[in-house]
Each structure stands twice: as structure tokens, then as C-alpha cells.
Amino acid sequence: MQTTKKDIRTLSKEDLRAFFISQGDKAFRGNQVYEWLWAKGAHHFEDMTNLSKETRLLLETHFVINHIKVDTMQHSEDGTIKNAVRLHDGLIVESVLIPTNTRTTACVSSQVGCSLDCNFCATARLKRMRNLAPDEIYDQVVAIDQESRLYHNRPLSNIVFMGMGEPLMNYPNVMKAIEKITSDEGLGMSPKRITVSTSGVSKMIKKMADDEVKFKLAVSLHSAIEETRNRIMPFTKSFPLPELREALEYWYRKTKSKVTYEYVVWKGINDDQKAIEALVKFCKYVPCKVNLIEYNPIDDGEFQQADSKVTDAYIKALENAGIVAKVRRSRGKDIDAACGQLANKS
């Protein structure tokens, strides 16, 4: 039976302090509970060992902690770990730990399913069921940090919002999650180690600039030719390239932060000279770098990885134009965990 108790993590520290005052207790008790919820990541009220049994019972009577649960964890030969994360209402999202020699990165989801309709993405085949709450995003990061420490002997170093969903379509909750992740009362991570990836929601890119965010921006571009981009990402008809260009120029003027373009090269779609030249031209508008992503096919359909010679041609053209470019190899192929193409094959 579904509970009607309030999720305690929707309360601010001030709300918690006020609650304890209303119960005839001291305000500082709210500080203690807040620390348990965020900095210490308590899953249950009984975990809060410096509170009296009566106080824990009081919390149990009024509230719940809607914590995520890592349902299944798959380990790849390359060290990548994919989590199937069960939410309090039974829905599932995925998150991925991606290790390299120098860092471990958490790839987290922001929606159950996705609001958009990118034809090459497995998540887009799932209808968007709901946005994730700030604590559900935060919990994914905490779980991956714990896995990083356990399996790779080092704390999590970076976070990318490239899992299920379009982060900018869940903007308020993503921002609240990042605020908690970067807070000294949360995980205390530097915002410069966080990248939010969007498929190009222009008006929200401008809003991020106005909000003076400190994290990094990545854009899933995949083609700088309007017709091609609209074909592979139909929703982009609402966010045409000139509008995206204007938003990115605005972003850079306000933040002075380079943009990263995520770009998959597919056979017969964007693997010709015209596509290469269009990308080079688009990259000149705003200081940027390009990640050419090795594609992890989701079926035997039209989207297949292009020949490595084409990727080399992209790299050469971009570098000749003074643009930093690198190939990002698909990780966790044996467990189907290419970040940004998270598939639900259960």
C-alpha cells in the first residue's frame, strides 16, 4: 500500500528545524537529521544513531526516506559498472560508473525514460514516465561514489548527466541535485567536475547562462547540417541550428566556459566530407572541443558505426582548424553500458 507520509528529503534544513521546534524539541535536532540525510546518506531513520529512540520513532511516524535501491549491478571486463536503480515507486533507471587510469566518472539519469525522440538512442524508445527528484539524482551519485571506493580504491572524481533523459527538461530538479552534490553539507564536489549534457534545448542553455552555473556544458550535436540533424533527432526542428548557435554564443559570453560537442559518426548518415566541413564551421562560432563517440549499436537498423578512416578524417580536419578533438571509446560493451546510450534490455 502506498504511504502518504512526506518524503523527508523534500524538506530544507530550516523546515526540519521548524518541525522539531513544533514538536517541543531543540532546533539543532534538525541540523543533525539534515546531516544524516545528505552528508551521511542514511537510508533509514534507525541509522541515525546519535538521535534518541523516541526521536527516531517521531521521524518514522511523520516521514519516509524514499531512497533508491541498486537492483542489479553489472561489471564489465574494462571496469565499467552499470547499475539498474529501482526508485521508491518501482520504476527503474540506469547509472554507470566509468573508470580510467586517472578518474572515475558517474554517468547519471535525470528522467525515467526520455522526453525526446532521438532515433539512435535506446532510452528514447521508452516513453518519459516522470522526472527524477533531486534526491534520486543525488542517490545515484552517492551509490557510484561508494562503488568507486570499493572496486577502484578511489573516490568518484567526475559526474556527467548523460544517462536516461534530457537534463534540461528537468531543470529545477537537476539544479537542486547539483546544489546538494556541490554543497559542503552534501558531497562537496567541485562544480567544475560536473558536466550537463543536452541535446540542444536552446532556451534552457540561455537560462543556465543567466543562472551563472559553474558546471560544464556538453551538447549532443551529431550533425551540423540541419536536414541531417532533424532526421536523426526529430525534436530539433523546434531548436534549429541558428537558434542553438545563438544560445551557445550567449552561454560563452556569460560564462566564458568552453562547450563540448558530443558527436557520433554513423555509416551513411554523417560520414562524408560535407558533414565534416559543416562541423568544422560550426565549431568556429564558440570556443569548444569535440568528443567523437564510438557508437554502441542498439539493433541492426540504420545506425551503425562508421569506418575508423572517417573518424580519422574528422579528427584531422578539426585539428587542422585548431579545434581540440578526441575519440571517446565505447565502454562496457559486454554489459551494454555506453554512457549516453543507456539501453533498457531487461
Point out the annotated binding site for S-adenosyl-L-methionine.
165-166, 197, 220-222, 296
H helices, E strands: number in the chain: 10, 14
User: Residues marked as binding for [4Fe-4S] cluster?
Assistant: 114, 118, 121
Our CA angle for 326, 114, 253, nearest 5°, is 50
Q: H or E element: which one contains 105?
A: strand 104-107
Q: Which residue has the cell 540542444?
A: 200
d(CA 67, CA 261): 34
The three three-digit cell numbers of residue 296, written as one number: 554502441
Alpha carbon of residue 34 to chain centroid: 24
DSSP 278-344: HHHHHHTSS-EEEEEEPP--SSSSS--BPPHHHHHHHHHHHHHTT-EEEEE----GGGT--TT----
> Which one from 107, 283, 288, 339 is the annotated catalytic residue?
339
Concerning whether 339 is annotated as a catalytic residue, the answer is: yes
Taking the CA of residue 282 as centre, how many other CA atoms within 13 Å lie in the half-sphere pointing to its CB? 28
User: Residues marked as binding?
Assistant: 114, 118, 121, 165-166, 197, 220-222, 296
Nearest to 62 by CA among 28, 13, 11: 11
198 contacts: CB under 8 Å, gap ≥ 6: 166, 167, 168, 204, 205, 217, 218, 219, 220
In a 3-state reduction of DSSP, which class is residue 46? helix
> Which one from 94, 136, 147, 262 is the annotated catalytic residue?
94
Helix H, strand E, coil C: the string for 11-43 is CCHHHHHHHHHHCCCCCHHHHHHHHHHCCCCCC
Question: 338 and 330 in contact (C-beta within 8 Å)?
Answer: yes
Q: Which residues are catalytic?
A: 94, 339
